[in-house]
Amino acid sequence: MIGITAYGAYIPRRRLQRKSVAQANAWFAPNLVGGAKGERAMANWDEDAITMAFEAGRDCVPASDPVKDRAHIDGVYFASTTLPYADRLNAGIVAAALGLGEGISSVDLSSSQRAGTSALIAALDAVAGGRLKSPLLLASDKRKARAASSQELAYGDAAAAFALGSDNVIAKFIGSHTLTLDFVDHFRGEGEDFDYNWEERWIRDEGYSKIVPAIVKELLEKTHTSASSIAHFILPCPFAKLDQAIAKQCGIDPAKVRDSLAVNVGDAGAGHALLMLVHAIEQAKAGDKILVVQFAHGADALLFEVTPNLAELPKRNGVTGSLARRKEETNYLKFLGFNGLVELEKGMRSEVDKRTALTVLYRKSDMLLSLMGGKCRVCGTAQYPKSRICVNPNCKAVDSQDDYGFSEQPGSVLSWSADFLTYSMDPPSHYGMITFAEGGRLMADITDVEQGQIDTGTKVRMTFRIKDFDPKRGFVRYFWKAVPV
């Protein structure tokens, strides 16, 4: 038996109120008011598809010591249509941040909204074929949309993750089916920031209403499964109640259609079907069959059955936990600024060359991407960064340090500053000295924080975020920041 062994999800804490978007654009696009219900997930300025995938992966495979606790992972599949790099292994960056070993297999999948489900099928096939034992699947998207467009209201930023394998399976993989059709409902050309969308009635009547029932029928026949046995039907769909109509057309009880999360998250692109799958598993019980369909240039369909092992899986943050961790955002201009949709005057203090020395990045990748420090074998002192000589003045042992990861260590603020003078995309710039519970300290930026929220003693955890962007060379530099808990 192969299938899903663990799940995880990440939804950014900021939730842009759609009403704020509609009000700001009412002078130009009064029709937006009709879609201005609820909120959409809004990534911080220092978040992208990579950082969200990392958080979902961390939630899926939690670790107190990444070097040991994630040693079983032997592959990473990363699906996204908004990969930060066109020619650099994005999966490799996430793997390094998660502290995975160098001997793993890794691959990026893109170019379609069904990249997430296609990656899931590929990863499951790798397990079934014996090539991999415990791969990790990540799907994440942070899509841009033109101001005053319906997509601006509909899209949302989020990520999902699944651990796969044959041991302690919580959702058994029954089968899958794929249809590949060049049905273009939307597209984004090379070098373009925004999607071009075709006429809605065509997409609804010729796309969803014909392609989805066809693939569901094929999968149910292939797996000898009755439509009436489906307990959860997942179909990301932009048209209200069309998913229920399609379910009924397929012989599935419309009441079994899963909440699309459109009201409080938005459409998370290549990761949305998998985000809905995480949400379904959180609420499922043993024996439930879950049918997942992702429409895009044809469709993917996958069928799972929940096993009794789900009850034994330690609780994850998942979709439910991410939804509970939220902050309302009503500043529409902040959303535009964070996504580069308006050109802000950043001032002279931002005018520095942010070139990254790629030689140093490679030689110190464990320190920079994995937040790996050292711990002295003689006196037990933990320190970051690792060095040849122990920082304990009463020890000073030479070459005595073993690798010691700080990324999962709980910390607290020792000293801090909220600086309005230094350049920041979200002023004031918060930073301070972070001390860790098991020893060691680090001067770090503090993110996802409001003015007045930080004080000495504030509990924090470390998170992987964008540190800088080099506009001259198009290079994104990642590092670790502290987040209040």
Same domain, 231 and 354: no
Same domain, 453 and 477: yes
Mean pLDDT in residue range 124-138: 98
Same domain, 364 and 271: no
Same domain, 127 and 38: yes
What's the confidence (pLDDT) of residue 353?
A: 83
pLDDT > 90 in the chain, percent: 94
What's the confidence (pLDDT) of residue 67?
A: 66
Task: Reply yes or no on whether the pLDDT at 345 is more than 90.
Answer: no
What's the confidence (pLDDT) of residue 347?
A: 81
Task: Identify whether 392 is part of a domain.
Answer: no
Task: Identify whether 396 is part of a domain.
Answer: no
Same domain, 301 and 360: no
Mean pLDDT in residue range 242-268: 97
Task: Reply yes or no on whether the pLDDT at 389 is more than 80.
Answer: yes
Mean pLDDT in residue range 66-84: 92
Report how far Cα 229 is from the mean position of its chain's Cα atoms: 31
Mean pLDDT in residue range 376-397: 96
Mean pLDDT in residue range 10-30: 97
Task: Identify whether 394 is part of a domain.
Answer: no
How many domains does the chain divide into? 2
Task: Identify whether 230 is part of a domain.
Answer: yes
Say if residue 359 is exposed, middle or buried (CB neighbours under 10 Å; 0-12, 13-18, 19+): exposed
In whole angstroms, what is the distance from residue 335 CA to residue 78 CA?
A: 26
CATH number of the domain that residue 417 is part of? 2.40.50.840
Task: Identify whether 236 is part of a domain.
Answer: yes
Task: Identify whether 399 is part of a domain.
Answer: no
Same domain, 278 and 366: no
Pairing between strand 230-234 and 289-295?
parallel
* pLDDT tens by residue, 200-252: 999 999 999 999 999 999 999 999 999 999 999 999 999 999 999 999 999 99
Same domain, 308 and 365: no
CA dist 467 → 49, 71, 152, 281 (Å): 14, 27, 26, 34
Helix (H, G, I), strand (E, B) or coil at 279: helix
Which residue type does 457 have? Answer: G
Same domain, 334 and 356: no
Same domain, 307 and 367: no
Same domain, 326 and 456: no
pLDDT category of residue 258 using cuts at 50, 70 and 90:
very high
Same domain, 195 and 330: yes
Between helix 242-249 and helix 209-222 the angle, nearest 10°, is 40
Q: Domain residues for 436?
A: 349-371+406-484
Same domain, 286 and 357: no
pLDDT > 70 in the chain, percent: 99
pLDDT category of residue 108 using cuts at 50, 70 and 90:
very high
